[in-house]
Amino acid sequence: MKRVMIVTGGGDCPGLNAVIRAVVNRASQEKDWEVVGSIEAFNGILREPTEIVVLDEAAVRGIHYQGGTILQTTNKGGPFEWPVKQKDGSWTTVDRSDEMIRKIGYLGIDAVINIDGDGSQRISQALYEKGLNIVGVPKTIDNDLSATDSTFGFQTAVQIATEAVDKLVTTAASHNRVQILEVMGRDAGWIALNAAVAGGAEICLLPEFPYNINNVMEKIESRFRKGRGFINIVISEGARNVNGDCVARESNEVGYRNRMLSGVGFQLEKELISAGCEHSIRTTVLGHLQRGGVPIAYDRVLASQFGVKAFELVLEEKFGTMVSYRHPNITYVTLQEAISTPNLVTYDTALMKTARGLGICFGM
């Protein structure tokens, strides 16, 4: 009997369960394969006692439309940065990658499928270089991986953000307000850009293009006549003023890899008031609502395609690769290629041209 282990790591993302189900259903068509899952990313395999579960068809039945991940996840720690409490109460991290690879071997696990974002596909690459048979599946609501046309979960996040814009438009119009919506998007503004176009926002501020507050003010004033009017602004959490840095705070969670972004919408509100904006302003931070709940059909389909392909890459022993969607095909790239270039919004991206054509202001 051969064994493949699924790992879900990083932030959760709508469609993770559909990938898990697809791997299991595809593997069940091969006589000699068993699928197991590590609980909470690689932590399940690193913990004593080990937390590994068998995933058969019964275990994954009907999970394709459920949000989250039945295997749980984390964006802290991992094999290269395992948190250890020291005698004085402080924390340090140790590299347990070699031990983990040995343990995977003892447990008779022949290959690993790591469903994760860009940061953790770096972990996949490092483990592959140490000899682990690993295949990556791209996962991020931010859609910031350039080695695939799209990642599952992104369209669901765009849908949720667009529904929020739709709701805020009616309240902004009723109150003659400036309505700010902060959405996720650490380095890449794809969610904000898509939601702004789909929801008809007038201003869209992205991490890729630091904004000038005077340009934002000018657009706002062009929408108000004799104090009446309204305007909707969609801003990515990673956006920043030309004169400033991102709004972020350090996390006190041990081994957390990112700076915690949130609050740029409220900062923008303050900047507008300082710049002389006299209209009523309200800010909404959409936050983790964008990652939860039922994946839309598009993401379930893409996730299912990724899961089937990931298992087939294992069968073909194409390790050190990541599944990729290149319209109309589901294919693969090397992990090295997958992590080399982020997918950022550029000035000449087709959707930016459309957005500029629609008159959306980017504060540039």
300 near ligand F6P, judged by CB under 6 A:
no
- Min dist CB 139 to ligand F6P, Å, is 9
Q: How far apart are CA 360 and CA 353, in angstroms?
A: 10
Q: What count of residues does the chain have?
A: 364
- Min dist CB 221 to ligand F6P, Å, is 31
Give the x-and-dash track for 99-118 against ligand F6P (CB under 6 A): ------------------x-
- Min dist CB 312 to ligand F6P, Å, is 27
User: Which of 198, 248 has the CB closer to ligand F6P?
Assistant: 248
In three-state secondary structure terms, 72 is: coil
44 near ligand F6P, judged by CB under 6 A:
no
* Active-site annotation, residues: 142
Residue keyed to tokens 């579960």: 53
Nearest to 139 by CA among 338, 353, 274, 336: 338
State the virtual CA torsion across 182, 188, 190, 196 in degrees, nearest 10: 40
186 near ligand F6P, judged by CB under 6 A:
yes
In three-state secondary structure terms, 294 is: coil
Contact by Cβ (8 Å): 183, 195: yes
Biggest CA-to-CA distance, the chain = 76
User: Which of 127, 261 has the CB closer to ligand F6P?
Assistant: 261
Q: Of 89-97, 180-188, 210-218, 336-344, which segment contacts ligand F6P by CB under 6 A?
A: 180-188
Between the alpha carbon of residue 341 and those of residues 71, 118, 145, 345, the distances in Å are 29, 10, 7, 12
Residue at shortest CB range from ligand F6P: 184
Say which residues have a Cβ less than 8 Å from residue 56's Cβ, sequence separation at least 6: 24, 28, 34, 35
- Min dist CB 8 to ligand F6P, Å, is 13
**Which residue of 112, 184, 216, 310 would you call a contact of ligand F6P, by CB under 6 A?**
184
Q: Give the footprint of ligand F6P on residues 117-146 (CB under 6 A).
A: 117, 140-142
Strands (E), 237-313: 248-249, 260-261, 280-285
**Would you state the structure tokens that stand for residue 148, as one six-digit string?**
């695939």
User: Which of 117, 295 has the CB closer to ligand F6P?
Assistant: 117
User: Which of 184, 277 has the CB closer to ligand F6P?
Assistant: 184
User: Which of 35, 285 has the CB closer to ligand F6P?
Assistant: 285
Contact by Cβ (8 Å): 257, 119: yes
**Would you state the structure tokens that stand for residue 6, as one six-digit string?**
């699924």
**Which residue of 9, 37, 136, 185 would you call a contact of ligand F6P, by CB under 6 A?**
185
Q: How far apart are CA 260 and CA 250, in angstroms?
A: 6
- Min dist CB 156 to ligand F6P, Å, is 12
Q: Give the footprint of ligand F6P on residues 46-85 (CB under 6 A).
A: 75
210 near ligand F6P, judged by CB under 6 A:
no
**Which residue of 5, 8, 11, 135 would you call a contact of ligand F6P, by CB under 6 A?**
11
Between the alpha carbon of residue 196 and those of residues 34, 96, 227, 296, the distances in Å are 45, 44, 24, 19
Q: Of 84-92, 129-137, 183-191, 200-208, which segment contacts ligand F6P by CB under 6 A?
A: 183-191
261 near ligand F6P, judged by CB under 6 A:
yes
Residues binding ligand F6P: number (CB under 6 A): 13
Q: By the criterion CB under 6 A, which residues form the site for ligand F6P?
A: 11, 75, 117, 140-142, 184-186, 237, 258, 261, 291
